[in-house]
A and B are shown apart, each in its own frame.
Chain A
Amino acid sequence: MLCAAGAAGFGNLGFAPWAVAQPTSVHKTARSASDAEPAFQTLAEFVNRSPGERGEIDVLKGIAKFVTESGKDKFDSRQPTQRALGKVFEPEPFDLDVAWQPPLDLLTVPVGDFGVPLELVPVGSSGRFFPGGGFTPGSIPGGVAIPPTGSTPPDGGDPGSGGSVPPPAGAVPEPSTWVLILLGFFSAGYGLRKRKAAGAIDDELIAL
């Protein structure tokens, strides 16, 4: 592929460019044409863009999780370079398998948030409290307070979220959306104009 001729001026590169024209690099302002290094300066800079060969790897698995390491990467490709209008909210992760455990209170008769006295389940039973109603007795030391049948936990039985998640606000519409909006308004205007013209004709006919 490359002949290691070691010709004068190009020996350090290991090949002789006798088959090509003399280089005319734009960077060659203060150096002679026989000096090898600046003739390939542009190419060297091109090569030096690269960090080199890849080392140990982590295979991207499934849905990539964008873990932000603030301050480490100035131009993180995962960070948007454009600002979105309004706020964009990431929904809280919700794990259906997480059991909701009501607080234990053995000193007093617990009263639910609805003001209804709660009953204690005897110690030694096993099971989990499922959100939204229904309880399977569980091996919870000291018993567990449950509301009477028909009532639900105050937070609606959703252990995964601390509250309602506001819906994400829309960002700048796509250009296709703009075109549709514009077409809609133009067609509405055209329709109004046509109806008005038809109404004018009807008026003329009535006048006749």
Chain B
Amino acid sequence: MKRGTLGVGFGLSLFLLLLSPALIFADDARKTREPELIDQHRSDVLSPDQQNDARARISAAEAVVAAQAGLMPPNVKTLLDVRESLKHGEFVWDDQGVPGGKVRIWVDLRRQTISVFRSGHEIGTALIAYGTDEKETPIGTFKVLSKHRHYRSRAYNAEMPYSLFITADGIALHSSPLRARHATHGCVGLPDQFARRLFQLAGVGTTVDISRSDPAFAKRIAKSAIR
């Protein structure tokens, strides 16, 4: 056998040997919570087919009023079927069956949530940490200016993995340790694995909306929910 062929074969074997642990221990990118939480459905309302659906269709009326209240961008078609209250550090990411298209990131500071939409379908949601009253997270519509896999804040001597910068003065969406009481110096803190997926999905120019939704409307809607 030729030496070159031997070398190629050896290289391939070594590559597969190194690759195997990653395949064995690869995490499930679809769900990050316990299966019983994500797959829980109310059988008294949903049909068996609908119980297998991990998405919730949102009506046109709901989409309009939600956009008016600052809860989500306009023209949203489906949402992730999350029926439990999230805790800081938890997130849901499910883009199976969602067509490719324009990505839009919606951050609601009042509800401490982030939702990621692609072609009008929600594919990810999590709780966030945001800036203090002295160092507020800005409200508005922004574009991702730059991406940094590893960034270190010189001002605050803090790591900012998976940074998506949206302003020139250093406001970014990035991975951050999260607790219910945690606040940042203006950036939007995300769970680490959620930030990783968002970093892979978003690119320079992706729209990021940071809003503070109408509290009165959200309160009325929350009370009307059937539990």
Contact = CB atoms under 8 A, between A and B. Distances in A.
A58 B176 CA distance: 14
B157 A63 contact: yes
Given A51-B180, A60-B177, A25 B6 contact: no
Given A13-B220, A185-B7, A190-B4, A38 B226 contact: yes
B158 to A, nearest CB: 6
A78 B182 CA distance: 13
Q: Which of B2, B33, B194 has the most CB of A within 10 A?
A: B2
A61 B185 CA distance: 9
B138 to A, nearest CB: 17
Interface in A145-186: 172-173, 178, 181-182, 184-186
B66 A43 contact: yes
29 contacts: A2-B217, A12-B220, A20-B61, A24-B60, A38-B226, A41-B225, A42-B56, A46-B56, A49-B85, A49-B113, A50-B111, A52-B111, A53-B111, A55-B181, A58-B181, A59-B185, A60-B129, A60-B184, A63-B157, A64-B176, A64-B177, A66-B177, A82-B26, A172-B22, A178-B15, A181-B14, A185-B12, A186-B7, A193-B3
A63 B224 contact: no
A47 B86 contact: no
A43 B45 contact: no
Q: Which of B18, B33, B46 has the most CB of A within 10 A?
A: B18
A47 B71 CA distance: 8
A88 to B, nearest CB: 14
Contacts of B103: none
Given A26-B57, A53-B215, 4 more contacts: A48-B85, A51-B112, A58-B183, A60-B183
Contacts of B57: 24-26, 42
A14 B62 CA distance: 14
B168 interface: no
Interface string A1-30: 110000000001111010011111111011
Considering the complex of A and B, which 6 residue pairs feature the smallest CB-CB distances, nearest first? Answer: A185-B11, A193-B4, A189-B7, A44-B225, A50-B111, A23-B59
B32 A75 contact: yes
Given A47-B221, A60-B182, A20 B64 contact: yes
Chain B interface category by residue count: 35 or more
B221 A49 contact: no
Nearest to B131: A59
B4 A189 contact: yes
A62 interface: yes
B25 A83 contact: yes
A173 B18 contact: yes
B158 A62 contact: yes
Given A49-B86, A63-B158, A73-B89, A13 B183 contact: no
A48 B225 contact: yes
Contact of B62 (A42, A53, A85): A42
B4 A181 contact: no
B85 A181 contact: no
B90 interface: yes
B136 interface: no
A59 B127 contact: no
Contacts of B132: 57, 59
A1 to B, nearest CB: 6
A39 B11 contact: no
Q: Which of A25, A57, A85, A181 has the most CB of B within 10 A?
A: A57
Nearest to A69: B179
Contacts of A193: 2-5
A81 interface: yes
Interface string B140-169: 000000000000000011110000000000
Contacts of B217: 2
B158 A13 contact: no
A39 B110 CA distance: 24
A22 B179 CA distance: 40
A188 to B, nearest CB: 5
